[in-house]
Structure 1
Amino acid sequence: MKLPSILVLLLILWHQSHAQTTISGHVKDGANEEALIGAIVSTGVDTTVTDTKGNFHLSVRAFPITLRVNYLGYQTLTIQVRAPKEITLALEPSSLTLNDVIVTSGSFSRKTLNTPTSIQSINQEMLRRDDPFSVTSALNRTPGVYMHAGTLTTNRITIRGIGSRSLYGTNKIKAYYEDIPLTDGSGNSSIEDIDQEMISRIEITKGPNSSAYGAGLGGAIRLLAPVPSAQQTSAKTSLTMGSFDTYRWMLQGAHHDNKTTVSAVYSDLQRQGFRENSAYSRQQAGVTLKYQLTPQIYFSVLGIFTHLKAFIPSSISEDDFKNSPEKAAFTWKQAKGYEAYDKTLLGLSYHQAFGQDWSLKSTLFLKNRDAYEPRPFNILDEETFTVGTRNTLAKRWENFRFFTGMELFFDEYRWKTFENNYDENSNGSVKGDPLSNNLENRSYFNAFIEAAATLAPNLNATAGINLNFTHYTLDDQFNEPGNNISGDYAFDPVVSPKLGLTYVAGAHNTLFMNVSHGFSPPSLEETLYPDGQINPDILPESGWNYELGVRGTQRRFTYDLTTYYMQIKNLLVAQRISDDAYVGVNAGLNNHLGVDLLGNYYFVLSDRYTLNTFASVAYMNYHFDEFVNDGNDYSGNELTGVPQWIFNPGVELLSDLGFYGNISGQLVGEIPVNDENSLYAERYFILRAKAGFRHVIGPWELDLNLGTNNLTDSKYAAMLLINATGFGGSQPRYYYPGNPRNYFGGVSLKYTFR
């Protein structure tokens, strides 16, 4: 009897020694939650691929194990798993094969290769090619995009020439942080005060192709929140110092598991600046949290809190630009003009999947900006409070997808102006008597529908339509009846359709075309007559956009080539009537013809090191077709404020561990600075470089880097005030000088708890 018992025991021990445990998981894009189908998951012993839902299952004999996840277009993820459990793995894009990265094109998430629109993404690898002080250089490497940067707060982004007539900020381009609009009810957008560490990716849709994001003529810029490393809890701090007494300190905590994803960031950026009266100070705290309540339901919360004070050197004349670019404008220096504000951005989102095919997402958001700005001509005290919602519903079939939604928000904008009684003895601005007291209420409603269908094995179509209502009211709470400028303005509803086609030519090449309509509403200020009364006849800018493009990947070469034509009618022109007064008129018809080219080719130097070469080219032939303003005929002239071409070459060394670096340049053609085309800003070339060393020792990761901007020490205009007017016999102040050669260096330290 003993022998059979021993045999049974041996059989049990043998079975246990050879028993296997199944480990399951889900692989997704870290930023937009899209499942990655066909991702390769390996333990070194066994390998599988994810199914049509991004799920995988692997048999494992013993723990801990090391999982390695590969997916074309994304960085390889290596992670240690210590116990049998279901895990969620989020991948981050690589800068080598961007056509395979999943982006949110219009309403649907899909590979860039398969989108029928001109869309490009900037991932964290691409942001980190430069210093951490701004996103200007990264945006300017995107063909068709040009970001003027007079200071860290005085910026103007143009996309394919749209927005070039905005004087001091970004207009006619929609901007979002996740699903929260950063664009206010007057069409003004601000992204420059969001710290790089609060951004995991930037997705740029060029032209009016995004019915789900407003159908703006210029397009849409969407910032995606930071994504913690998969299945990790970590803390990170960094310090970067540079020329002009610049420093940035950052602290971040992050956690990621199967139910909870959270990232909290605090940053402090200080700079004295190259120019007089250009000191800058910004403190920012941000948190993003996502909680998976059930496999079908998750909540997300985000908040960004910003305190900023930035002095304003303003633009200078041509003589000062050439001889003394460090100068501030005399009156701005004497008044010590600055901009200061506290800004809050809050959002709460609910996402639910119904079965395998339906999904609902609802977002509530709140924004507040309390600002104070002493200018030489007056002091502006303003506050904007915004509340709104965005809701979308999507349905998927095998060969058809449908998406609909709406966006609604209300702005309450209170602004007062006061006399500025500064003088040579006052040591800055002095608040005087009130000059105005106004309340603007702005409502914005956007409804959209989009559908995508497979028409043939290699042919896909996307169609969409956008409906917009915008309404302004102005309540003059300062002037007595008779001088009161109160009124309201609402233009007729604008309907903007679009149609796009993609044809897949082989496994890695796609032809695409689209036709789309877009519009840009006038701001309330642009609707005012010179006497302050509202002009009910002013119309929004609108136009049709036509695109034809090809993109693809051939072995190690990735390319994206697009040609486009857009005609814009009812061009809005701001006529300056005093230091702080402009009136808007519909004055013309514009033709925008251009070509965008983006490409990269990489060389595999070893298992850990890759050399990537990249370049972008934009040819922008933009002209006034019919343009008569204030009795002057500018028909046939080049569009003001936009160069005809931009070339951005670069090369970078990438590695899993060790030395890294890059060198990139920007060559910008001549820019007309007035509508007469009688004056052009000279073309310029600037060169940037950055090198570093990254090393991991156990749970610690150390990163050291050094870099330089404007290595060639070029003199150039980083921003232009177009059509500037000189007052009192003084020269017009067109120019914001760019920084001379400057340096930066940084260190970051990360500790991973698990």
Structure 2
Amino acid sequence: MTRLSAFFFILTVSFFFSQKKDTAVLISEVKIDAYKKPVLFMTSTKSVAVVSENLLGQNPPERLLEAVNQIAGARMEERSPASYRISIRGSTLRSPFGVRNIKVYLDDFILSDASGNTYFNIISPKLINRMEIYKGPESGDYGAVTGGTVLLQTRRTDHLSAGVEIGSYGTFEQHLDVARQEGKNFFELFQNYYQTDSYREQSAVKRQQIYVKDRFTYAPRASLNAILLLSDLDYETPGGLTLNQMESDRKQARPSAGGFPGAKEQHAGIRNKMILAGISHETAISSYFSHFLLVQGSYVDFKNPFITNFENRFERNFAVRTHFNFEKNWNSISLALRVGFEGGNQNILVKNYNNNKGIPGSPQNFDQLKNKSGFYFLSQKLNFNKKLFTDISIGLNSNSYEWERMYPVSEEGRVKFKEQWLPNFGVTYLLGKGFSIRGKIGKGNSAPTSEEIRSSNQEFNVNLVPEYGWNKEVGIRKQFGNIIFIEGSYFDFRMKDAIVRRQNESGQEYFANQGNITQKGVEVLLESKNFHLKNEIFSSFKFRFSGSFYDFKFRNYQQLENDFSGNEVTGVPDTTVNSLFNFVFFKKLSVDYSHYYISKIPLNDANSVWSKPSLISNIRLGFPIQIDGAKLNVHLQIQNLYNTDYVAGFDINAFGSRFYNPAAKRNFIFGAHVEF
């Protein structure tokens, strides 16, 4: 044993024996909601990660990237401020921007539209109190996606707070959150304003948001829930750079080239106004039977001045979800059954004009697209003798759309995809207290979204079909006393008819089904409890490590005369490692020190261009001050602590090698948050 390893061994031993007993809930005893199918994390059959309040606290005011990227198997990318992509056990092959192939719910309600697109960037991180991320297909309860599902949860208990933050590049954020139980009503009002000039040219952001919800419990086992979300998001898009352009000037927006004007000259950006309103009802019909019904609608006014055109998009969305539930407990068996339906309609009017420096010019194309999607599902949850747990489901999924070109010519059509039966089977066995093993097999199916059917090249891709595949996985969860929790999982997902992105010489995108993909991976998590130390200076400490190790390969992938079979999947790093250390000094000063390592990434399908590996670190200092009945929390965040040159989101398969969207160098955020 070397002197260094001996020192760390002595330090570790003394550290563990100097701690006080932690009375907090064990990590293995955390409950997940699983969309109204609550279960202990340790006994869940699903591959799920919980993003707690501690992880959410790592985010800067504009994004959830830092929290999501602490989760093994999940990765959030930022092409430019307010332009985000999320991949769960997969790639962003289909997502030049936005969130696709992932189902997103906000409390009871559905953020994803009928085609599968989600405007994730309209949500302020300050609104979210907790997240659950489900990795891989969950077609029984959540519908047909091959990537995964994200559940966003807002406040469920009384809360009154307000805060303000200022930072580098003219960053300013203000929020107010009021949640209160008044008689039979639980009411929440959340308001947020955020703006920044950002690091690069042509990348300013402004977002305003109001969220209102009310839960009216009008009977002991019956409630009525309503929400209203108003969001106004306006952000500029600087565009991708070539490697030479990035090395010459990281802050520049995409310059003019090849007869095309630059992003700044064309005032490139996104202006997205969205209204979402919905109502849901839960009631117990008897001691065994209950019913849930949700109805919601949304309207989107979307403007996108781009290099080659100015797009206006108007979206009307309607969705419904309903299910009947049966639950009964016997001496050694607990059984829950659910049968239901979720469906949605979407009507989109798209108008494209010439872009005259941010002003609509002569018309190019006027189109209408109507999407319909739905799935019937039957699911079962069984607990046998508190040892064996099963979650078995089957869903029948359907998708179709109608398209119409109204200008400059008149033509129309209808496409209906083949209905898909999507089974899922999961089982967990509890070997002992704090020790479980699990296995899972399931099929996923993901239809093209509206922006893939009618992409920015303004053509209808009627030959595009859904991608689908089978996922198999095994996992283990182990709690070591009251100290350490570990989790490991291995999955093997075989995707067919994978949808991939292409770009033409104008930078306009289109999509194609290109062969099959084999996705194999190992994901690990190591997390400690909060150790309280017998030390007036060093008061407490906890840590968290997670990692993803992937082998994703194209199979039977032919593009014109090029054969890319055997190549690594574009946009996917084979290794990511994340860490978070939480320290408390003097029983007051908290220090959160995080790292995010990502290996090199293939930037095109030919694997001829790769990114460099990167290691990013952030640190957050917080200090609470008690003022009568209020608690003031003052904090300082330093993002990109090591001042690394890196890219937080690449434009994969970009025409002209414009792969790079440089991220900000070291920057600072100072904030104050008061809770009453």
Q: Same fold (TM over 0.5)?
A: yes
The corresponding residue for 1:309 is 234
Contact 1:173/1:220 (<8 A) preserved: yes
- Is the aligned partner of 1:220 residue 2:153? no
Of the three residues 146, 160, 163, the one matched with 2:89 is 160
The corresponding residue for 2:347 is 412
2:287 maps to a residue whose letter is: Q
The corresponding residue for 2:10 is none
1:442 maps to a residue whose letter is: N
Cα deviation, residue 269, structure 1: 0.3
1:199 maps to a residue whose letter is: I
Cα deviation, residue 128, structure 1: 0.8
**Within-5 A mapping of 1:570-649:** 570-579=497-506, 581-602=508-529, 603-605=531-533, 609-649=539-579
Task: For residues 36-56 of structure 1, give each alpha carbon's deviation from its aligned partner in whole angstroms, at most 9, with x where no partner exists.
Answer: xxxxxxxxxxxxxxxxxxxxx
Cα deviation, residue 536, structure 1: 5.3
Of the three residues 569, 583, 607, the one matched with 1:677 is 607
**Within-5 A mapping of 1:702-741:** 702-726=632-656, 732-741=657-666
Question: TM-score, normalized by length of structure 1?
Answer: 0.82
- Is the aligned partner of 1:518 residue 2:447? no
Contact 2:554/2:567 (<8 A) preserved: yes
Cα deviation, residue 152, structure 1: 2.7
1:714 maps to a residue whose letter is: T
SS of the equivalent of 1:672 reads coil
Cα deviation, residue 257, structure 1: 4.8
Contact 2:240/2:660 (<8 A) preserved: yes
Q: Which 10-residue stretch deviates more, 410-419 or 583-592?
A: 583-592
- Is the aligned partner of 1:697 residue 2:624? no
- How far apart, in 2, do the equivalents of 1:107 and 1:661 lie? 35
SS of the equivalent of 1:694 reads strand
Q: Cα gap change, 1:712/1:438 in structure 2, threshold over 3 Å: closer, same or farther?
A: same
Of the two structures, which has the highest relative contact order with CA contacts closer than 8 Å and spacing of 6 or more? 2
- Is the aligned partner of 1:469 residue 2:469? no
**Within-5 A mapping of 1:233-632:** 235-257=160-182, 259-330=184-255, 331-398=262-329, 399-422=334-357, 429-455=358-384, 458-481=387-410, 484=411, 486-524=412-450, 526-527=452-453, 537-554=463-480, 555-579=482-506, 581-602=508-529, 603-605=531-533, 609-632=539-562
Contact 2:138/2:144 (<8 A) preserved: yes
SS of the equivalent of 2:264 reads helix
Task: For residues 260-312 of structure 1, give each alpha carbon's deviation from its aligned partner in whole angstroms, at most 9, with x where no partner exists.
Answer: 21111111101001000111111111112111111011111111111111111
Contact 1:289/1:301 (<8 A) preserved: yes
Q: Cα gap change, 1:526/1:245 in structure 2, threshold over 3 Å: closer, same or farther?
A: closer
Ranges in structure 1 where 5+ consecutive residues have no aligned partner: 1-69, 74-96, 423-428, 727-731
**Within-5 A mapping of 1:202-217:** 202-217=131-146
- Is the aligned partner of 1:193 residue 2:122? yes
Task: For residues 184-221 of structure 1, give each alpha carbon's deviation from its aligned partner in whole angstroms, at most 9, with x where no partner exists.
Answer: 23322222221122211111000003521114110101
Cα deviation, residue 488, structure 1: 1.3
1:626 maps to a residue whose letter is: N
Cα deviation, residue 467, structure 1: 1.3
SS of the equivalent of 1:381 reads strand
- How far apart, in 1, do the equivalents of 2:137 and 2:268 lie? 37
Question: TM-score, normalized by length of structure 2?
Answer: 0.91
- How far apart, in 2, do the equivalents of 1:199 and 1:379 lie? 33
The corresponding residue for 2:52 is 123
- How far apart, in 2, do the equivalents of 1:743 and 1:167 lie? 28
Q: Cα gap change, 1:393/1:163 in structure 2, threshold over 3 Å: closer, same or farther?
A: farther
The corresponding residue for 1:31 is none
Q: Cα gap change, 1:72/1:500 in structure 2, threshold over 3 Å: closer, same or farther?
A: farther
Task: For residues 660-695 of structure 1, give each alpha carbon's deviation from its aligned partner in whole angstroms, at most 9, with x where no partner exists.
Answer: 221000010000001111110100001100011113
2:90 maps to a residue whose letter is: G
Q: Cα gap change, 1:444/1:343 in structure 2, threshold over 3 Å: closer, same or farther?
A: same
1:420 maps to a residue whose letter is: N
- How far apart, in 1, do the equivalents of 2:495 and 2:476 lie? 25
SS of the equivalent of 1:549 reads strand
**Within-5 A mapping of 1:657-672:** 658-672=588-602
- How far apart, in 1, do the equivalents of 2:650 and 2:192 lie? 30
Contact 1:525/1:583 (<8 A) preserved: no
- Is the aligned partner of 1:147 residue 2:76? yes
- How far apart, in 2, do the equivalents of 1:164 and 1:71 lie? 45
Task: For residues 332-381 of structure 1, give each alpha carbon's deviation from its aligned partner in whole angstroms, at most 9, with x where no partner exists.
Answer: 01112121121111121111123333221111111111011211201001
Contact 1:645/1:669 (<8 A) preserved: yes
Q: Cα gap change, 1:564/1:531 in structure 2, threshold over 3 Å: closer, same or farther?
A: closer
